[in-house]
Amino acid sequence: MALNIERKVSSDETVISVAGDVDLYTSPELRKAVLEAVPGAAGRVAVDLSGVNYIDSSGIATLVEGLRSAHKHDKAFVLVTPSPPVMQVLELSKLDNVFEVRTTS
């Protein structure tokens, strides 16, 4: 399944909504979207992962890169309603406590 990424900007938040499979082939698209959004974001950067069916370690690594970039630019970085497959891989990677996770969009 292809990856669909949408970006919505408001005064206090930039939301990147992700749907589909995040894998070795599609994660560069997510990386581009996240790393482009972070520097100019007005407030926090929220990545909505509720529509993600599958994520592999390249997707998780991409989220880590987003978090690193947000720290560098002094921005908050939040994962919003991660789907069960995302939560599972985050837990397996021992990174579930590294990210701020919001359960409502």
- 64 is a site residue for another protein (CB under 8 A): yes
- Tell which one of 16, 17, 19, 21 touches another protein (CB under 8 A): 21
DSSP-based three-state secondary structure for 18: strand
- Tell which one of 28, 39, 40, 43 touches another protein (CB under 8 A): 28
- 62 is a site residue for another protein (CB under 8 A): yes
- 4 is a site residue for another protein (CB under 8 A): no
Q: Which H/E stretch holds residue 39?
A: helix 27-40
- Tell which one of 93, 96, 101, 102 touches another protein (CB under 8 A): 93
Q: Which H/E stretch holds residue 90?
A: helix 84-92
Q: Which is nearer to another protein, 31 or 75 (CB)?
A: 31
CA 53 – CA 102 distance, rounded (Å):
18
**Beta sheet of 44-55, edge-to-edge order:** 4-9, 13-22, 44-55, 77-80, 100-102
DSSP-based three-state secondary structure for 29: helix
As given in the structure block, the two tokens for residue 28 are: 């560069």
- Tell which one of 10, 57, 98, 100 touches another protein (CB under 8 A): 57
Give contact residues for another protein (rule: CB under 8 A). 1, 21, 23-25, 27-28, 31, 53-54, 56-58, 60-62, 64-65, 85, 92-95
